[in-house]
A and B are shown apart, each in its own frame.
Chain A
Amino acid sequence: MAFKIDVQNLNLFYGEKQALFNVSLGLPASQTTALIGPSGCGKSSFLRCLNRMNDVVPNLHLEGKVLLDGKDIYDPSVDVVDLRSHVGMVFQKPNPFPRSIYENVAYGPRIHRLFKDKSALDQIVEKSLTRAGLWDEVKDRLQQAATRLSGGQQQRLCIARAIAVNPKVILMDEPCSALDPIATAKIEELIDELREKFTLVIVTHNLQQAARISQKTAFFHSGYLVEAGETGELFTTPKDERTQGYITGRYG
């Protein structure tokens, strides 16, 4: 099977400190891959390598390859701005812009000039909000400040904002950790629907969630990728005893 993103022998250093050790992981297209592991094991670090959000970190050093559709995203010829329009990101804490709901979703298409006229932009906004399952809740108040939405609505708005630029891959770093169970359920449902169209990578501390929404799971431990495989298999018959220990709750 061809991987949408293929990470090969990735080593990541924050200054002297090595955060990732020789990680190789393939992310299949149109599937959700869950990254799990104890706190501080390098899940976020790994995720941020996939759209070069790490670029802003001073003293960061990286070895290895991250291939998106076969092309190394750390190649000097690659434009980060272009890359990020193909690999979107949703963060742990909802972070809408302090603008209107409409402007939040329209921002990405605006900076990448993805539309011809106002009505085309309106369509992108409506489609993205509908996909994110938020349209019915906000269609009558698109000009209202996004910061006045509830936490769960804000997170769905952030997802709508990310899909508005029509990326190939969406990275999510614990997108539900600030949300209540109902909002979480909505986002999980949404992730399941989005999988058709996008390749999803999601970091989560919630193992049930990983089991519910992902097709592939990767278990990280202190900077090493311990085990990766089909979600059902990994949870029922883990090969490594560290994985076994983590998913049975012996440590974490």
Chain B
Amino acid sequence: MTSNLRKRHRQEKWFQRMGLFSLCLALLFLGIIFGKILITGLPAFFKTEIEAKSAPQHLLNPYAQYVDQGKWTAASDAVDMYYKNGYPGTLSPQDSQSIEALKSQNKIRLSFNGAFFTHSDSSAPEMAGIWGALLGSLLTLLITFLTAFPIGIGAAIYLEEFAPKNSHIYWIEATINNLAAVPSILFGLLGLLAFIHFIGLPRPSALVGGLTLGLMSLPVIVVTTRASLSAVPFALKEAALGLGATPLQVLFHHVIPSALPGITTGVILSLARALGETAPLLMIGMVAFIATPPSSFLDPATVLPVQIFNWSRSPEMGFVENTSGAILVLLLILGLLNGLALFIRKKFETHHGF
């Protein structure tokens, strides 16, 4: 008896240690990944500037001369790389020497790279920014939300609260559950077929991207919404029905308010997933090089993860930095969305749905 007890305690300890070990391992990897991205990406938020008068013309950025009117002018890509990382690249030894000279005279400096946030894609890494992609992501996500949210919630409410329990409904439910697990690239194919070939919407637009991602998010939203609706205790519905509330009143006064934290969390998380999605958008041609930010839902657009994908394939050193910088921005937004989901959940839970 006592030896049995000791054995069970040992098992428990062992199990706890295993859990702790896995947790540490996961944290370690997370730390390494974040560290690496931070180290590579942070420099993208800064650019090297030179006091224009004191430097040879070819060290300055050929584009910047038209933009920067002040005393300080952006340096060329090669100088930027050299100053930040000590990586000589295409610079001649004389050039490196003159940079060292500028350094000792304090005529070269790092300053905040606003262009990274206000410019769109460009073939020159030091001129490229994420503004166009950010705007594209916003417009796309708006379309995704506007389509997936009402349809998904509506379908979930119907299936959970009103649908008769027959074999048709059963098959629809099973299909939706399976769709939630279908690889996202297939939704890209579906979007290509339905919205571009069939309906004929303009190709790499936020509208098509948003609709495609909406299709992708729909089953997930239905599944999570149904889960939170079915978690509402039956006793609550019974109480309201017993007082003479109509089924619609039960739904709007009791079921939805109680399920709201779960529903919003599910919607936000599926939108976050849509925001980070690349594969289906490649299928519908949102991978093109787009240098002007979209001004409508029908304009050619790209989104942040696709921009990252594009930059990551470019050979220039500057794009490596831009890639990591854009990843940092994407991660920040995803973190904020997840934080929002967490906040809503906590807030509503303490207030018991009201």
User: Is B one of A's binding partners?
Assistant: yes
Given contact pairs A53-B238, A98-B353, A99-B354, A84 touches B258 in the complex (Cβ within 8 A): no
Complex Cα gap A161–B64 (Å): 73
Report, as a range, how many residues of chain B touch the other chain: 20 to 34
Cβ contacts under 8 Å, A107 to chain B: 240, 243, 245, 253
Cβ contacts under 8 Å, A56 to chain B: 241
CB B167 to nearest CB in A, in angstroms, measures 14
Stretch at the interface among A13-21, A65-73, A89-97, A121-129: A89-97
A83 nearest CB neighbor, chain B only: B244
CB A160 to nearest CB in B, in angstroms, measures 12
Cβ contacts under 8 Å, B354 to chain A: 98-100, 103
Complex Cα gap A98–B233 (Å): 11
Tell whether A58 is near chain B: CB-to-CB under 8 Å. yes
Given contact pairs A91-B235, A91-B238, A93-B235, A98 touches B244 in the complex (Cβ within 8 A): no
Cβ contacts under 8 Å, A103 to chain B: 354
Q: Which residues of B pack against A, CB within 8 Å?
A: 165, 233, 235-236, 238-246, 249, 253-254, 258, 352-354
Cβ contacts under 8 Å, A51 to chain B: 242
B254 nearest CB neighbor, chain A only: A97
Quick one: which of A43-66 are within 8 Å of B by CB? 51, 53, 56, 58
> Which of B238, B239, B249 is close to A111, meaning CB atoms less than 8 Å apart?
B249
Besides A85-B243, A111-B244, 14 more A-B contacts (Cβ < 8 Å) are A53-B241, A95-B239, A97-B240, A97-B254, A98-B354, A99-B352, A99-B354, A103-B354, A107-B240, A107-B245, A108-B243, A145-B352, A147-B352, A162-B243
Given contact pairs A98-B258, A98-B354, A99-B354, A91 touches B239 in the complex (Cβ within 8 A): yes
Complex Cα gap A93–B244 (Å): 19
CB pair A158–B239 under 8 Å, yes or no, is yes
Complex Cα gap A78–B236 (Å): 24
Tell whether A165 is near chain B: CB-to-CB under 8 Å. yes
Cβ contacts under 8 Å, B258 to chain A: 98
Tell whether A120 is near chain B: CB-to-CB under 8 Å. no
CB B162 to nearest CB in A, in angstroms, measures 12
A100 nearest CB neighbor, chain B only: B354
Tell whether A26 is near chain B: CB-to-CB under 8 Å. no
B249 nearest CB neighbor, chain A only: A111
Given contact pairs A97-B254, A98-B258, A111-B249, A88 touches B352 in the complex (Cβ within 8 A): no
B237 nearest CB neighbor, chain A only: A56
Complex Cα gap A97–B243 (Å): 12
CB pair B244–A165 under 8 Å, yes or no, is yes
Complex Cα gap A161–B243 (Å): 8
Tell whether A185 is near chain B: CB-to-CB under 8 Å. no
CB B246 to nearest CB in A, in angstroms, measures 6
Quick one: which of A152-201 are within 8 Å of B by CB? 158, 161-162, 165
Cβ contacts under 8 Å, B241 to chain A: 53, 56, 84
